[in-house]
């Protein structure tokens, strides 16, 4: 451990602990301390011999970290990130960038004015597989993109909902779909319009458990995404990608990218095409695409250290992540109103 780059972590819950472990294991950086007012976090810090603060501002002032990871509840992201920017400390803010587009735009403005880099934790973009898919889809290997199918079908255990996740905002749109929307924006380009329907019939909570989306990409392709957190099923990035060892990996696709010359199943990485430009009577060829796997959280931390050192610009800036959040807000609005909603219009309205 070199200890050259000192990183603080605000919020030592589920994902915060993973960041803490990764920083501790990294040769690029060292832990400057954690900020989390919960008794569990304090006990954890004491047991690990880590400097503990009940307030992130005290950590910023006393430890003077080189960078800060913000892994607190969404509603705290804005104020914590603004404090980092005010102290000139680059921040890695967990996804979603903030809880609303209006809040995210405030952060974008603060980051722009100060020049302090803000990286957002849409960590899947650091997965080499996502980058390979982007190269194939965007690079023309499957021809012109015509259609995209996204599936996010799985079962969350019932006790997951016992801790404040039954209300609007605690469901799969903001917590999970935001990852898939970010993947799709990164791979296929901007989403110009959305239509959506949601249902809470399976679990009966205020928050949605199931949704269907229709997406129009700026490049002209049409996408659908179907999600439900109330069904035993293998089709989701979480279970299909093997990215997070907490979920038993399933050898099933969760995205299909269809182009005029071929199609790609992901993350199963099978490329389908007609060798001789044939049609449905001809045999289809199926080719496996070999892309080495890597832990995107490890790569994200390496990148954050490079951002802190000024060697790299944030791969996912606050502005870019605001675009992802705006799509999720557009989905919510479309589900409530039944209208086609433009994410760009949502950003213009609150700007
Ligand atoms: N990138 C990912 O895949 C991923 C996965 C899980 C969560 N997240 C995001 O990370 C964030 C945290 O989610 P989680 O699942 O770890 O939640 P969590 O509830 O497990 O942890 C949140 C922690 O923040 C602490 N906290 C509350 N108020 C605080 C304050 N004022 N200062 C400092 N800490 C405070 C809580 O005590 C808790 O320990 C959310 O924004 C979530 O969307 C991202």
User: Are the C-beta atoms of residues 19 and 9 closer than 8 Å to each other?
Assistant: yes
pLDDT category at 2 given cuts 50, 70, 90 is: very low
Q: How far is the CA of 157 from the centre of ligand 1 (A)?
A: 19
> Does residue 329 lie within any of the structural domains?
no
Atom from ligand 1 closest to the CA of residue 122: 1
Calculate mean pLDDT across residues 231-255: 96
* Residue 267: pLDDT over 90: yes
- If you measure from the C-alpha of residue 38 to the centroid of ligand 1, how many angstroms do you get, rounded to a whole number? 11
**273 in the same domain as 185:** yes
Q: Is residue 335 part of a domain?
A: no
Position 347 in a domain: no
Residue 297: CB partners within 8 Å, gap ≥ 6? 18, 19, 22, 123, 126
Helix residue ranges per DSSP H, the chain: 14-25, 39-48, 56-63, 74-86, 101-114, 128-138, 172, 178-188, 237-241, 296-308, 318-337, 343-350
Considering the domain architecture, whether residues 137 and 263 belong to the same structural domain is answered as yes
Ligand 1: residue whose CA is nearest its atom 18: 13
Atom 43, ligand 1: residue with shortest CA distance = 95
Q: Look at residue 98 in the predicted model and tell me its pLDDT.
A: 96
Mean pLDDT for all residues in the chain = 95
Structural domains of the chain, count: 2
* pLDDT confidence of residue 282: 94
Using a pLDDT cut of 70, give the percent of the chain over it: 99
- Ligand 1 centre from 74 Cα, in Å? 7
Atom of ligand 1 nearest to the CA of 72: 24
What pLDDT digit, counting tens, does each position of 274-298 carry? 988 889 999 999 999 998 878 999 9
Q: What is the pTM of this model?
A: 0.95
Say yes or no: 149 and 280 in one domain.
Answer: yes
Q: What pLDDT does 350 receive?
A: 85
Instruction: State the pLDDT at residue 1.
Output: 42
- What is the pLDDT, as a whole number, of residue 167? 82
Question: Is the per-residue pLDDT at 331 higher than 70?
Answer: yes
Structural domain boundaries, residue 268: 128-293
Which ligand 1 atom minimizes the distance to the CA of 38? 37
CATH value at residue 286: 3.30.360.10
Closest CA to 121 of 30, 15, 36: 15
Q: For residues 1 and 24, what is the distance between their CA atoms, to the nearest angstrom? A: 8
Closest residue CA from atom 4 of ligand 1: 15
**pLDDT, position 294:** 84
115 and 233 housed in the same domain: no
Question: Residue 348: inside a domain, yes or no?
Answer: no
> What would the mean pLDDT of 243-259 be, rounded to a whole number?
96
Are the C-beta atoms of 341 and 334 separated by less than 8 Å?
Answer: yes
190 and 276 both lie in a single domain: yes
Ligand 1 centroid – CA 310 distance (Å) = 27
Q: Is residue 304 part of a domain?
A: yes
Domain boundary among 260, 293, 326: 293
Take atom 30 of ligand 1 and give the residue whose Cα is closest. Answer: 36
Asked whether residue 309 falls in the same domain as residue 226, the answer is no
Instruction: Kindly state the percentage of the chain with pLDDT values over 90.
Output: 91
Q: In the structure, what pLDDT confidence band is assigned to residue 162 with cuts at 50, 70 and 90?
A: confident
Q: Are residues 117 and 211 in the same domain?
A: no
Q: How far is the CA of 16 from the centre of ligand 1 (A)?
A: 6
Task: Identify the CATH number of the domain in which residue 110 sits.
Answer: 3.40.50.720
- In a domain, residue 270? The reply is yes
Q: Token pair 């880590």 is at which residue?
A: 50
Reported as a pLDDT band with limits 50, 70 and 90, residue 204 is very high
Q: 304 and 274: one domain? A: no
Q: Are residues 158 and 282 in the same domain?
A: yes
Instruction: Specify burial of residue 249 (Cβ count, 10 A radius: 0-12, 13-18, 19+).
Output: middle
Ligand 1: lining residues by beta carbon, under 6 Å: 10-16, 35-38, 41, 56, 71-74, 76, 94-95, 121, 123
The yes-or-no verdict on residue 152 having pLDDT over 80 is yes
Q: What is the pLDDT of residue 293?
A: 76
Please check whether residues 282 and 154 belong to one and the same domain: yes
Residue bearing tokens 């990409």: 217
Asked if residue 57 and residue 177 are part of one domain, the reply reads: no
For ligand 1, what atom is nearest to the CA of residue 174? 43
Residue 177 inside a domain? The answer is: yes
Q: Is residue 343 part of a domain?
A: no
The answer on 95 and 177 residing in a single domain is no
pLDDT at 43: 98
Q: Pocket of ligand 1, candidates 9, 10, 12, 15: which has the most ligand atoms within 8 Å of its Cβ, to mutate? A: 15
């Amino acid at each position: 451990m070199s200890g050259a780059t000192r990183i603080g972590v605000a919020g030592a819950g589920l994902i915060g602990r993973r960041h803490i472990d990764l920083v501790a294991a990294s040769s690029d950086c060292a832990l400057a301390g954690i900020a989390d007012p919960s008794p569990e976090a304090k006990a954890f810090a004491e047991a690990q011999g880590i400097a503990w603060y009940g307030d992130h501002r005290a950590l910023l002032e006393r430890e003077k970290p080189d960078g800060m990871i913000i892994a607190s509840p969404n509603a705290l992201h804005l104020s914590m990130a603004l404090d980092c920017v005010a102290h000139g400390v680059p921040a890695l803010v967990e996804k979603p960038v903030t809880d609303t587009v209006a809040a995210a735009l405030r952060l974008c403005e603060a980051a722009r004015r100060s020049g302090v880099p803000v990286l957002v934790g849409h960590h899947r973009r650091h997965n080499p597989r996502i980058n390979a898919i982007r190269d194939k889809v965007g690079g023309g290997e499957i021809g012109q993109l015509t259609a995209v199918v996204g599936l996010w079908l799985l079962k969350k255990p019932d006790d997951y909902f016992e801790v404040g996740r039954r209300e609007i905002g605690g469901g799969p749109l903001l917590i999970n779909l935001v990852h898939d929307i970010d993947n799709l924006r990164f791979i296929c380009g901007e989403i110009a319009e959305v239509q959506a329907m949601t249902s809470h019939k399976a679990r009966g909570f205020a928050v949605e458990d199931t949704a269907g989306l229709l997406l129009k990409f700026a490049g002209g392709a049409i996408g659908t995404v179907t999600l439900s957190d109330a069904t035993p099923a293998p089709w989701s990035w979480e279970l299909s990608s093997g990215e997070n060892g907490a979920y038993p990996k399933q050898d099933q696709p969760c995205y299909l990218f269809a182009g005029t010359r071929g199609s790609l199943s992901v993350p199963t990485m099978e490329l389908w095409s007609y060798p001789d430009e044939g049609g449905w009577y001809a045999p289809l060829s199926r080719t496996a695409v070999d892309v080495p796997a890597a832990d995107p959280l490890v790569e994200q931390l390496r990148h954050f250290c490079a951002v802190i050192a000024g060697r790299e610009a944030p791969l996912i800036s606050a502005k870019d992540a605001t675009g992802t959040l705006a799509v999720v807000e557009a989905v919510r609005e479309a589900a409530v109103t039944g209208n086609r909603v433009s994410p760009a219009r949502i950003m213009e309205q609150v700007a």
